[in-house]
Amino acid sequence: MLFIENVTIRVEQKDVVKNLSLQIESGSLHVIMGQNGSGKSSLAHSLMGLPAYEVTSGSINFKDQDLITVSMQDRSKLGLFLAFQQPLAIPGVTVFQFLREIYTVSGQQLSPADFQELLQKLLQQVGLDISFLYRGFNENFSGGEKKRLEIVQMLLLKPKLIILDEIDSGLDVDALRSIGNCVQEYLQANKDASCIVITHYRRILDYLKPTAVHVMQDGTIVHSGDAQLSYEIEEEGYDSYGK
């Protein structure tokens, strides 16, 4: 599904990802762990096509397409989805308006009544009240509420490749369980969908079933293993996994 080969990414004249290679097969869940500043979020933002992130070498192919040449909006249409570490508020736009817009742009169609019913089900699934639909988008939301709303967007758009950038940061136990279970249930129901989870800690893996765990340091992947690796990292720290 996703093939990253020898990719270097530059931000403000600095290489933040360096000669990184990674292969994500359909139906797999990969976890990328690492310290702050290791390049994890930069990789996520580059995959989604944020303009500040320049791929200076290497190749990224998604579903047999050269992803580097595809615009951010078209990447979303191809089936990529990024849940941001720090979701932004959009003053003057309600949650309903925002969700309706991204749903329409994705090419899907539903009557207003059916769309309202769908959103009610999705909000209930992540533990948000229906009243959130009529609030300003992420305005005065708690960290957990913002992250739950990111998952609502994921469920609405039905992506083929989900990228969760520290979706677990700042969550309480209940929110973490809700989000982890929603992601795992989505992957079980959509066997051809894949997921990249970026995190510092293994606690969200209590609710997910990773295919592989990778350690990222200084802009590249330095070690890979199965789910057991996340326990070893928790015990030994990241310094044990040098290049």
Domain with 219 in it: what CATH number? Answer: 3.40.50.300
pLDDT at 183 over 60: yes
Distance (Å, whole) CA 127 – CA 129: 7
Distance (Å, whole) CA 209 – CA 212: 9
pLDDT at 233 over 60: yes
Chain centroid to CA 235? 26
> Structurally, how many domains does the chain consist of?
1
Mean pLDDT value of segment 8-27: 95
Q: Give the bridge partners for 77, in sequence order.
A: none
User: Quick one: residue 59, left, alpha or beta (phi over 0 = left, psi -120 to 50 = alpha)?
Assistant: beta
Per-residue pLDDT at 242: 65
Per-residue pLDDT at 164: 96
Mean pLDDT value of segment 80-87: 91
pLDDT band (50, 70, 90) for residue 111: confident
pLDDT band (50, 70, 90) for residue 240: confident
Q: Does residue 243 belong to any structural domain of this protein? A: no
Report whether 212 contacts 225 (CB < 8 A). yes
Report whether 17 contacts 220 (CB < 8 A). yes
Average pLDDT for the chain: 92
Q: Does residue 186 belong to any structural domain of this protein? A: yes
- Domain with 154, as residue range(s), is 2-238
Q: Does residue 13 belong to any structural domain of this protein? A: yes
Taking alpha carbons only, the member of 59, 89, 62 closest to residue 77 is 62
Q: Report H helices in the chain.
A: 40-48, 72-78, 95-105, 112-126, 143-157, 173-189, 228-236
Q: At what angle do helices 143-157 and 95-105 cross, to 10 degrees?
A: 30
pLDDT band (50, 70, 90) for residue 156: very high
Mean pLDDT value of segment 230-237: 89
pLDDT band (50, 70, 90) for residue 243: low
> Between 243 and 176, whose confidence is greater?
176
